[in-house]
Amino acid sequence: MPKNIALLTAFLLIAILISAAGTLQAGDMHIYINGQDYFDKFDTELIDGCLMVKARSLADILGAEINWFKAIKTIHLKKDDTKLKMMADNPYIQVNDKTYKTEHQPTMLKGSSYLPLKEVIEHLGYLYQENGKDIYINKPSSYVKGISWQKSGQQLLLELDKISPYRINKTDDPKKIVLELDQTALSPDFKDDLSNKNFYLKIEKVANRARLRLSIISKYPIPFQRDMGIDEDGNNLLINFLPSITAIDWKNNRLKITANGDIRRPEILLLQNPKRMVLDIPGLMLNNFDLNIEKNDWIEDVRVSQFKYDPVTLRVVLDLVEDKQMELVQDNSSNTLILKPADLSEVRELKFENSILSFITDQSTNPDLFFLEEPDRLVINLINTVRGDNFPDKIDVKGELITAVRTAKFNEETVRIVADMTRESAYKLEQKQLSNGKFKHIIKFENGFNKLVLTDSTTKTDISFDFLRQANYEVKRLSYPDRLVVDIQGIGGISQEELPEPLGLIEGIRIGQLSSEPQVSRVTFDLTDYHGHKVISMSPDSSINITLIKGAAEPVTGKNVIVIDAGHGGFDPGAIGPSGLKEKDVTLSIALKVQGLLESEGYDIVLTREQDNFISLKERVDIANEIKARLFVSIHANASNSRYADGTETYIAPDKPAENKLLARVLQRELSNSLKRKNRGILKDNFYVIKYTEMPSALVEVAFISNPHEESLLSSDFFLEKAARAISKGIKSYLDNVRQGDEGVDE
């Protein structure tokens, strides 16, 4: 039986640290106001250990209005919107319309009035901090009103008056990340709700500045991607963490793995000696979790580890009782995985006909398919499965794509089917239950037609095709009558029934075979009217997107400006490489080079920042949206907990028009071709700047600054120049490809 994992009690601690004040002595003191030493300009007196300053000198230094009413020994001090009223030898201070009791009272000395510095300065809204003989007075520009956990502890919300310069980064300790807020103080009515069973939070005031430092500490290393980890929401900041495992339970013959967020489908491996089932769950973080496994006949032990950081993968190993099997239940909810005891399935009737591989299992087995190279082959693993009677070792195939189908017993409960192929190719698995209760599995190798969708709006009609994999295609305009034809290579067997109803500018859709060697299908769209079209994809592609424009031209959408966004800046260095290279310098250098290259060819470029200054994510987006930019490209360098993580990737926001994907494709293609780093492909994520920009936008992660080799590349001007050329080329290629108007060829 598994040992019970001791659960940590919830961390419920907030520590606010500030250096204790020593006994103040006049002499070599310093009084810094916003960083400048004003000690010599103050008339000070120490009375009962309290530093008193002459009211007049304080007013002069702060630029405050001062009035002295001698008869009633009353001082009025006014700075900005704050008005203080104090009386000599009276312990009450009136701040606007509220009255407070003071510890030290104003006093008359040598005919002048003296005020307690700390109390007066704090009532005027300044931050007062002492460190030995140094006094620091700063005016914060923002206050933290509250800090609280959201989304079951996956997200930390900081409520602020306004966004002030912030930065977040990893530390030398992988279990700790630090968020710093500059020109910021805790609000007097600061409330915290920091209870979270996984993270311990510590807030420190930085002694000599209006700056807060929030340390986030976990019992386990924190997988944290800087660019995804922090987000703005109005005046608030959000820190996002990956979901983490919260419980593993065995109850009613079901093993349930629960997380505080979405669990993606794991990769499953069955291993022998000892018999165990390995579940590799992507994007899940290790943290404190409950383990409740009652004694049972299937599972002897459960082990959990953070198996990888690139990509983040949680590994759950189930030590199984000999001759017992488990299988994944299909109808899992979004934050649980459920496994149940499985019967051994038998596989029979392996066939390969008309480019279709099929077999039948008597249980609802879920084949695990993956492609291997050199030699190219598709591997199909059937776990918890044995070979049925007359199951062949090999099927002879004389295909152009598939050359042989072989089978083998991979281990006691895994049957492996291998399709030898002449090249990498997409495949599609379909499963259906037969009337006799058995399950038929069909694997199609031909490129096929997934769907064709038409959408119509007041300004345009959109056509979007989806295939199983990339296809070469051509879009042509034909006249008399107006038609648009799409000739697609290597796609067969689309039936008229799979085509949608005509819509908008399209009054008819037809399909036919244009040629058989090579195989080319033609889809013809009969048009009611033609005013121009745009193809928002590039051959070859696994999807085709075409926009038919209504009316003479699209409404003017503003200037033809391209916005280049250099990530981070100023107070926020972005990620920092192992030898100290800062992401903000790399991104600015590339952005300036892109600007130079494109401006020299006549393009209008606007940079969100041209120097080393902090700007918020919202300001970046506002710049692009306000000028109605044509394109927005954000430049970043990547970081990972794993120093081995490397390569180039490009992000787009999910659920945005096809233009975004095309932009990402050309950028990723040019960057990979030119930099020759690992091609990590195009990913979808809701980074703030690509989510809220209203024009086609993409975010490039040029290389990993956290990888020592790539950091050294990123520190070379030659490499940055190459990156800038690639980004410029990608932008030009995008603009050429979606240029508007009649691009067709009349036949």
* Residue owning tokens 């007075």: 137
DSSP characters over 424-454: ----EEEEEE-TTS-EEEEEE-S--EEEEEE
In angstroms, the Cα distances linking 507 to 162, 549, 577 are 53, 15, 58
In the complex, the smallest distance separating the C-beta of residue 649 from Zn ion, rounded to whole angstroms, is 12
Rounded CA-CA distance 667/649 in Å is: 9
Judged by beta carbon, residue 263 or residue 713, the one nearer Zn ion is 713
Tell which residue, 664, 602, 677, has the closest CA to residue 632: 664
In the complex, the smallest distance separating the C-beta of residue 584 from Zn ion, rounded to whole angstroms, is 8
Judged by beta carbon, residue 511 or residue 588, the one nearer Zn ion is 588
Provide the 3-class DSSP secondary structure of residue 17.
strand
In the complex, the smallest distance separating the C-beta of residue 646 from Zn ion, rounded to whole angstroms, is 16
In the complex, the smallest distance separating the C-beta of residue 701 from Zn ion, rounded to whole angstroms, is 7
- How many helices (H) does the chain have, and how many strands (E)? 9, 56
Output the six-digit token pair for 265. Answer: 């489908």
Rounded CA-CA distance 189/517 in Å is: 77
In the complex, the smallest distance separating the C-beta of residue 699 from Zn ion, rounded to whole angstroms, is 8
Judged by beta carbon, residue 448 or residue 574, the one nearer Zn ion is 574
* Residue owning tokens 């198996």: 307
Judged by beta carbon, residue 261 or residue 567, the one nearer Zn ion is 567
Judged by beta carbon, residue 219 or residue 684, the one nearer Zn ion is 684
Q: How many residues does the chain have?
A: 747
In the complex, the smallest distance separating the C-beta of residue 612 from Zn ion, rounded to whole angstroms, is 15
Rounded CA-CA distance 575/103 in Å is: 46
Q: Where are the beta strands (DSSP E) in 219-367?
A: 230-233, 236-240, 245-251, 254-259, 267-271, 276-282, 290-293, 299-309, 312-320, 325-328, 336-342, 345-353, 356-361
In the complex, the smallest distance separating the C-beta of residue 24 from Zn ion, rounded to whole angstroms, is 44
Burial class, 269, CB count within 10 angstroms (exposed 0-12 / middle 13-18 / buried 19+): middle
In the complex, the smallest distance separating the C-beta of residue 608 from Zn ion, rounded to whole angstroms, is 13
- CA 674, 677, 679, 681: dihedral to nearest 10 degrees? -80
Tell which residue, 325, 306, 331, has the closest CA to residue 316: 306
When computed from its CA atoms, the radius of gyration of the chain, rounded to whole angstroms, is 33
In the complex, the smallest distance separating the C-beta of residue 229 from Zn ion, rounded to whole angstroms, is 10
In the complex, the smallest distance separating the C-beta of residue 563 from Zn ion, rounded to whole angstroms, is 17
Region of 735 (left: φ > 0; alpha: ψ -120 to 50; beta: rest) is alpha
In the complex, the smallest distance separating the C-beta of residue 596 from Zn ion, rounded to whole angstroms, is 22
| Interface contacts to Zn ion, rule CB under 5 A | 227, 567, 574, 636
In the complex, the smallest distance separating the C-beta of residue 234 from Zn ion, rounded to whole angstroms, is 22
Judged by beta carbon, residue 130 or residue 227, the one nearer Zn ion is 227
In the complex, the smallest distance separating the C-beta of residue 587 from Zn ion, rounded to whole angstroms, is 7
Going across the sheet that includes 679-684, the strands are 604-607, 561-566, 631-638, 697-704, 648-652, 679-684
In the complex, the smallest distance separating the C-beta of residue 639 from Zn ion, rounded to whole angstroms, is 8
Provide the 3-class DSSP secondary structure of residue 664.
helix
Asked whether the beta carbons of 104 and 88 are under 8 A apart, the reply is: no
Output the six-digit token pair for 385. Answer: 């499965």
Judged by beta carbon, residue 574 or residue 696, the one nearer Zn ion is 574
Judged by beta carbon, residue 634 or residue 660, the one nearer Zn ion is 634
Asked whether the beta carbons of 380 and 417 are under 8 A apart, the reply is: yes
> What DSSP state is assigned to residue 6?
P
Provide the 3-class DSSP secondary structure of residue 123.
helix
Q: What angle do CA 95, 101, 104 make, to 5 degrees?
A: 105
Judged by beta carbon, residue 357 or residue 637, the one nearer Zn ion is 637
Judged by beta carbon, residue 227 or residue 565, the one nearer Zn ion is 227
Rounded CA-CA distance 711/732 in Å is: 28
Judged by beta carbon, residue 225 or residue 384, the one nearer Zn ion is 225
Asked whether the beta carbons of 151 and 261 are under 8 A apart, the reply is: yes
Judged by beta carbon, residue 414 or residue 693, the one nearer Zn ion is 693
In angstroms, the Cα distances linking 401 to 376, 377, 396, 489, 689 are 10, 10, 13, 16, 43
> What DSSP state is assigned to residue 400?
S
In the complex, the smallest distance separating the C-beta of residue 573 from Zn ion, rounded to whole angstroms, is 10
**Dihedral sign, Cα of residue 435, residue 441, residue 447, residue 450:** positive
In the complex, the smallest distance separating the C-beta of residue 196 from Zn ion, rounded to whole angstroms, is 26
Q: Which residue is nearest to Zn ion (CB)?
A: 636
Half-sphere exposure of 432 (CA within 13 A, CB side): 6
In the complex, the smallest distance separating the C-beta of residue 687 from Zn ion, rounded to whole angstroms, is 9
Judged by beta carbon, residue 567 or residue 647, the one nearer Zn ion is 567
Judged by beta carbon, residue 266 or residue 567, the one nearer Zn ion is 567
In the complex, the smallest distance separating the C-beta of residue 690 from Zn ion, rounded to whole angstroms, is 12
Judged by beta carbon, residue 121 or residue 724, the one nearer Zn ion is 724
Rounded CA-CA distance 360/378 in Å is: 18
Rounded CA-CA distance 11/379 in Å is: 47
- Phi and psi of 520, rounded to 5°? -130, 125
Rounded CA-CA distance 431/31 in Å is: 77
Q: Which residues pair with 95 in a beta bridge?
A: 84, 98
Provide the 3-class DSSP secondary structure of residue 258.
strand
Asked whether the beta carbons of 84 and 92 are under 8 A apart, the reply is: no
